[in-house]
Structure 1
Amino acid sequence: MSRLALHWQVVIALALALLAGLATTPDSRLFGVSVLAIYGFLGSLFLNALKMLIVPLIVTSIIAGVSGSGAAEGLGRLGGKTLAYYLTTTLLAVLVGLAMVNLVQPGVLDGVPAARSLGLDAGTGAALAKVADRDAGDLVEIFLRMVPPNIVAAAAEGEMLGLIVFSLLFGYFVTRLPADLAGTQRRFWEGAAQAMLKFTELVMRFAPIGVFGLVAKVVAGSGLDSFRSLAEFFFTVLAALAIHMFVVLPVLVRVFGRASPWRHFRAMSPAMLTAFSTASSSATLPLTMDCVEKRAGVSERVSSFVLPLGATVNMDGTALYECVAVLFIAQAYGVDLSFAQQLTVVLLALLTSIGVAGIPAASLVAITLILGHFGLPAEAIGLILATDRVLDMCRTSVNMFSDSCGAVVIARSEGERPLAQATG
């Protein structure tokens, strides 16, 4: 008998959490134990498991992805173009998300931070205190944290920027080793990355329990009013993803790829549907390569380099989602992030999205990391878990489509004529 799909388990857990939350109050007790404490325990256990994954998941994913991207010669002209494209589109995606979340302000209800209706008001003062001492100088210090004096201490203290930069450089220099040593290193890091993927999948099996505990606690404390703000967050993310996918990326295909965006949409439709249903860019990669080569007309030389690297480092939708989620939570706590602090969020979303594995819900790990950087409580991630599965499916489609657009743009720059039959 087949196991019920994870997203349906989460939906059922959400429904049960709503019923349990409405049936209990902050004073309810079960066998003498506070029901809210039980809900909190289940949610905290899941969040602790996510935090436990942060360092090994990001390090192994980045090193395995970079070191296995095609040896040192792959980081030449073609590699430079690919990385430039991926950094540009990811930055554009984050900026779209930044603009939308500031325009809509989903974390503010009727001019008031949503913390009270979300049951977060108890932690608002602490959150404000932790962020209050961060100013424009913090944006400068972020570059210093990219080169920590002690990489182990940086990882232990949650200063992940230095670890990300270290992992990128380590993966690159693995490609510079003699063939026998490079092969040994690549096999080790690929094995470690695969082990962490399975570990993450195990943790995500308990996501329904975590969703139940986190959502039931909010509903028991504040009722259904909390979901008005959550709905605004959901549609803010969807609107931002739609702008990036149907406006920004088609413009790049038209201007730099000199091809028809509509024809490219049609060519990539099988892979897009697979990415949406699986919420995994890694699982969709074989079909993505097939569509890019056979339906979009990109050479194997370009697609075999651009797409596998993109499945690891190009996460437009994920970076956009991280930015919107963090600013939504900051708004809900009444934390007014300055322009410099929002730029820090942009940079963190850009860098952490590189290390997010191409599996469902792995971006929750990165969001937890960014929240910690600003002193915002990781428990607030429970607010977005209820909608995460649907949004995960949408942002994975954006991630995959951006990879395919990159293949078209780079193929054109290499003298190829992808989608040559396009006329408009």
Structure 2
Amino acid sequence: MALHWQILIALVLAAIMGSVTGTEGTILGLPWLAVYTFIGTLFLNALKMIVVPLVVSAIITGIGNVGAQGGFGRLGIKTISYYVATSFIAIMIGLFLVNTIEPGVSNNPAPVIEANEKVSQAVEGKSVGDVVDVFLRMIPTNVVDAAASGQMLGLIFFSLLFGFFMTRLKGDLAQTMHNFWQGVFEVMMMITALIMKFAPLGVFGLVAASVAKTGFDQFGNLALFFATVAIALLIHLVVVMPLILRFVGGIKNPWLHFQAMAPALLTAFSTSSSSSTLPVTLNAVENRAGVSNRVTSFVLPLGATVNMDGTALYECVAAIFIAQLFGVPLDFTTQLLIVFIALTTSIGVAGIPSASLVAISIILVAVGLPAEAIGLLLVVDRLLDMMRTAVNVFSDSVGAVVIARSEGEKDVLTRREF
């Protein structure tokens, strides 16, 4: 059975069991709530376990692959600049909408009431002056300690720096380092895939515990959260991307690119995996949009690894939504931190279904919000995962078109029928 169907069944069972047992139900003298919490905590611990090695190896290998292809030249600078710019725009769209719509604001009690004090203490007393601290935390005094204490900001900066200078090595040293980190990344991908096989059990535990504690009070907020993310993704897909095609890429009719990319968009939506969609994306951009193999072979594989506009947008909205649920206002400094971490962790998100859960847990921990709240997001995560994957893939393809045009290719998107 496909993973998304397993998760859907787990959600339904969790809602039923959580509402029936409540906080008082027991089995063999043991509270059902304790059982739910135990299962959910195991899943969360597994996610937290892989965060550091997965993100570090993904960023280092991503930067290393750019250098290995001679990517720090003109083509590489254009590609990285495009990816950073579009991800930042996506995050800003999500940030604006989540602060405007405020999907997490309601009169309902916080979903995990006992964590409220901890959350408030973690973010209180921050001001605009603390922006300096954000940049100070970028450079850890001890990388090992930063990894142990979950200070991902400094770890990400170190990984970017390490990956860049790894490309400056020569001969056997360069190959040895590349093989080592590529091996670590491949192993972490396999461990991530293993943990995601247990996602239905984790979903059951997290959601059942939440329903047992608060009933269905939060489902109205979740519907509004779903709408907020969907609207933000739609704006990025049908407004921002066509504008980039028109005014940056010089494409007179941007909608031709939607026709060209239809197979890849449908594949991305159905698989929720930009990595699995990559062969279809390459075919569509090269054979239907008319971009040269020189550009597609460099831009698209790199994009499937590091360009995650939809994921970055989702991470930002999700973190602020959870803060709103807990009634904790996030000031400029904290939201700036969320934006930066969403931008950098989206680089390290594996191109597989629901892998953004790992990145969201990084953001929650970094700003002092409880990782247990991920259980609420899982209720609507699957469909949103399908949507944001389609946005990720389309952004990659737009990047290929824009960069091809900047390289002087004239025959891009000149066909009228696909």
Question: Where on the TM-score scale, by shorter chain, does this alignment land: which range?
Answer: over 0.9
State yes or no: 1:416 paired with 2:413: no
Q: Which residue of 2 aligns with 1:186?
A: 178
Counterpart among 285, 294, 297 of residue 304 in structure 1: 297
Residue 91 (structure 1) aligns with: 88
Q: What letter corresponds to residue 336 of structure 1 in structure 2? A: P
Q: What is residue 53 of structure 1 aligned with on the other side?
A: 50
Q: Which amino acid aligns with 1:79?
A: G
Q: Which residue of structure 1 aligns with residue 256 of structure 2?
A: 263
What amino acid is the match of 2:394? Answer: F
1:14 corresponds to: 11
> Aligned partners of 1:179, 1:307: CA distance in 2, in Å?
27
SS at match of 1:364: helix
Q: Distance in 2 between matches of 1:191 and 1:77?
A: 29
Identify the residue that residue 190 of structure 2 maps to in structure 1.
Answer: 198
Give the one of 7, 31, 34 matched to 2:31. 34
Cα distance in 1 for partners of 2:414, 2:320 equals 42
Letter in 1 for 2:325: A
Identity %: 58
Report the equivalent of 2:138.
146
In the alignment, is the contact (CA less than 8 A) between 1:164 and 1:355 conserved in 2? Answer: no
Shift of 1:73: 2.6
1:125 positional shift: 2.3
Which digits, 9 at most, give the CA deviation of each residue in 1:107-131, with x for residues without a partner?
Answer: 012xx3x4x1x53223222211111
State the TM-score, normalized to the length of structure 2. 0.96
| Count of residues paired in the alignment | 415
> Does 1:62 find its partner at 2:55?
no
Question: How far has the Cα of 1:138 moved from its partner?
Answer: 2.9
- 1:147-226 matched pairs, under 5 angstroms: 147-226=139-218
| Conservation of the 8 A alpha-carbon contact between 1:276 and 1:396 | yes
- Judge which range, 143-152 or 132-141, deviates more: 132-141
Separation (CA, whole Å) in 1 of partners of 2:271 and 2:164: 30
Task: Report the CA distance between 1:284 and its aligned residue.
Answer: 1.3
- From 220, 226, 234, the equivalent of 1:228 is 220
Task: Compute the displacement of 1:70 (Å).
Answer: 5.1
**Residues 257 and 413 in structure 2, CA contact (< 8 A), matched pair in contact too:** yes
The list of structure 1 runs, each at least 4 consecutive aligned residues, that deviate by more than 4 angstroms after superposition, is: none
The Cα shift of 1:222 comes to: 2.1
Are the aligned partners of 1:361 and 1:388 in contact in 2 as well (CA < 8 Å)? yes
Structure 2 CA distance, aligned partners of 1:125 and 1:175? Answer: 46
Q: Aligned to 2:218, what secondary structure does the other structure show?
A: helix
Residues 186-195 or 382-391, more deviating: 186-195
Alignment of 1:361-376 (within 5 A): 361-376=354-369
Alignment partner of 2:138: what SS? coil
TM-aligned CA deviation for residue 134 of structure 1: 2.4
Selected match of 2:388 from 387, 392, 395: 395
CA contact (8 A) 2:112 2:213 kept: no
| Structure 2 partner of 1:383 | 376
| Matched-pair contact (CA < 8 Å) for 1:131–1:374 | yes
Cα offset, 1:422, TM superposition = 6.3
Aligned residue type for 1:207: A
CA apart distance, 1:47 = 0.5
1:72 CA displacement: 6.4
Residue 348 of structure 1 corresponds to 341
Residue 54 of structure 2 contacts residue 189 of structure 2 at CA under 8 Å; is this kept in 1? Answer: yes
- Once the two structures are TM-superposed, the CA of residue 140 in structure 1 deviates from its matched residue by 1.7
Greater CA deviation, 149-158 or 44-53? 149-158
Q: Which amino acid letter does the alignment assign opposite residue 234 of structure 1?
A: F
1:276 counterpart residue number: 269
* Structure 1 residue identity aligned to 2:374: I
Residues in 2 aligned to 1:293 and 1:284: alpha-carbon distance in whole angstroms: 14
Q: Is 1:135 aligned to 2:132, yes or no?
A: no
Distance 1:72 1:305, change over 3 A: closer
1:246 is the counterpart of 2:243? no
**What SS does structure 1 have at the residue aligned with 2:70?**
helix
Among 324, 327, 339, the residue aligned to 1:331: 324
Query: What CA RMSD, in Å, does the superposition of the two structures yield over aligned residues?
Result: 1.5
Partners of 1:72 and 1:176 within 8 A in 2: no
CA positional deviation for 1:169: 2.2
1 CA distance for matches of 2:336 and 2:155?
A: 20
Provide closer, same or farther for how the CA distance between residues 139 and 72 of structure 1 changes in structure 2, counting only shifts above 3 A.
Answer: farther
Deviations 1:187-243 (A, max 9, x none): 222221111111001111111111111111122222222211111111111111111
Separation (CA, whole Å) in 2 of partners of 1:65 and 1:329: 30
